[in-house]
Amino acid sequence: MVDGDGLWGMIRTSELEQAAADGAANQSIAQILGEGFRYTHSADELHVHTDHSLSLALERMGAGGLNVLPVVSRANVRELMGVIALNDILEAYGLDRRVRT
């Protein structure tokens, strides 16, 4: 999630699905997360920088149970440069997550 001040953090699809099941389908993501939710530098493992390796991205995805990570600026961790997805990394290594028969 990004606003005018930069990156807030990430929200899992399962969290959105649970909120919808709990009757919050018409609320904004900010309302679902609550006022106390903000991205903090203490979540170092939940992002990567452009000069980090794909193996580090995989390690952090595994540690966090995530399929995507934000790629942020070294000068300002709230500045979102992009995102990297597990599928992107697997494709870079010549792998495909789909089962072949």
Residue with the two structure tokens 């530098």: 41
Tens digit of each residue's pLDDT (9 = 90 or more) over 31-44: 776 655 554 444 55
Q: What is the mean pLDDT of the chain?
A: 81
pLDDT of residue 40: 46
Q: DSSP letter string over 44-90?
A: GGG-B-TTS-HHHHHHHHHHHT-SEEEEE-SS-TTSEEEEEEHHHHH
CATH number where 65 lies? 3.10.580.10
Average confidence (pLDDT) over 49-53: 95
Domain of residue 13, residue span = 2-92
Sequence-distant (6+) residues with CB within 8 A of 27 are 19
Q: Is residue 7 part of a domain?
A: yes
Q: Is residue 9 part of a domain?
A: yes
Q: Is residue 32 part of a domain?
A: yes
pLDDT of residue 20: 86
Coil, strand, or helix at residue 42?
A: coil
User: Which is higher by pLDDT, 24 or 42?
Assistant: 24
Number of domains in the chain: 1
Q: Is residue 6 part of a domain?
A: yes
Residue 30 banded pLDDT, cuts 50, 70, 90: confident
Average confidence (pLDDT) over 25-36: 73
What is residue 32's DSSP assignment?
Answer: H
Q: Is residue 101 part of a domain?
A: no
Q: Is residue 98 part of a domain?
A: no
pTM recorded for the entire structure = 0.72
pLDDT of residue 101: 52
Tell me the two tokens of residue 45: 């493992």
